[in-house]
Amino acid sequence: MNRQPFRGFPARSSFTPLPNLLFAELLSRIDSLAELKLVLHVFWRTYGRKAPLKFVTRNELMADRTLLAGLEDGGHAAEALAGALKAAVDRGVLLRMAVDRDGGTEELYFINDEAGRSAVERIGAGDITLGALPQAEPCAEQGRPDIFTLYEQNIGLLTPMIAEELTEAEKLYPVEWIEEAFKEAVSLNKRSWRYIARILERWSSEGKGSGESGRDSKKKRDPNRYVKGKYGHLVQR
């Protein structure tokens, strides 16, 4: 288990809505830490899903290493997950629905709210079809950090002026460029946004990945070389 202190939330964080009844009524009833972790995780996953039907599959939960690590606590994560799911369903927090897919059975879990109850009823009645189920892979939030997180992790605290510049940079440059510019600045011990911005400006005007030094401005370059390329729509003239 990770015992390192939490570094705090960045200046710009995304949020997950939670019903007031979760705090006013359910917290006093849930007596299992595994069940509480699972319920919060399901809220996060379902409300973050960009689809009309909001649910999570058992396979998705089993594939989430962060969730399983939090449930394990010296025992078997799969057993802890199964127990937490059963407890949440028995308590009425989650709704379970088993569907036949590809010769097997897949378990779907919905939050027991109006939308979840309606979805379960309509799927059971055949009024709507599920289509392709979500792939069992970690959520996007576990992937690459955004530009604000990169700044706070590698440079320092954000100021309102810097935040505006970062927001503008996100619109102008591909995320891969931004990440690599931060890495280059850190490797050279040039930990300032001004230096990183100059790297991005140089790549935008002179090209990135040509194998030549970006500071060699004497060599002739086609001004439309990168405007017409993969990221041309992100480069301002």
CATH number reported for the structural domain that contains residue 27 in this entry:
1.10.10.10
1 within a domain of the structure (yes/no): no
Number of domains in the chain: 2
Q: What is the pLDDT along the chain (237 residues), one digit of tens a residue?
A: 556 687 787 766 778 889 999 999 999 999 999 999 999 999 999 887 877 888 999 989 998 888 888 887 666 888 899 999 999 999 999 999 998 877 778 899 999 999 999 999 998 888 887 766 665 554 444 455 678 778 878 888 777 788 888 888 988 999 889 999 999 999 999 999 999 999 999 999 888 764 443 334 334 445 454 445 544 555 554
Q: Check whether residue 95 and residue 123 sit in a common domain.
A: yes
| Domain end call among 139, 164, 187 | 139
Q: Check whether residue 38 and residue 104 sit in a common domain.
A: yes
pTM above 0.75, yes or no: no
Question: Please, which contacts does 212-218 make with residues 24 or more away whose CB atoms are closer than 8 Å?
Answer: none
14 within a domain of the structure (yes/no): no
- Smallest Cα–Cα separation from 119: which of 44, 52, 56, 59? 52
| Domain end call among 100, 119, 139 | 139
Question: Which phi and psi (to 5°) does residue 51 adopt?
Answer: -155, 150
State the CB neighbour count (10 A cutoff) for residue 188: 10
Domain holding 201, by residue range, is 147-234
What is the spatial distance between Cα 107 and Cα 87, in angstroms, rounded to a whole number?
Answer: 15
List the structure tokens of 17. 């809505």
State the CB neighbour count (10 A cutoff) for residue 206: 19
| Domain end call among 105, 123, 139 | 139
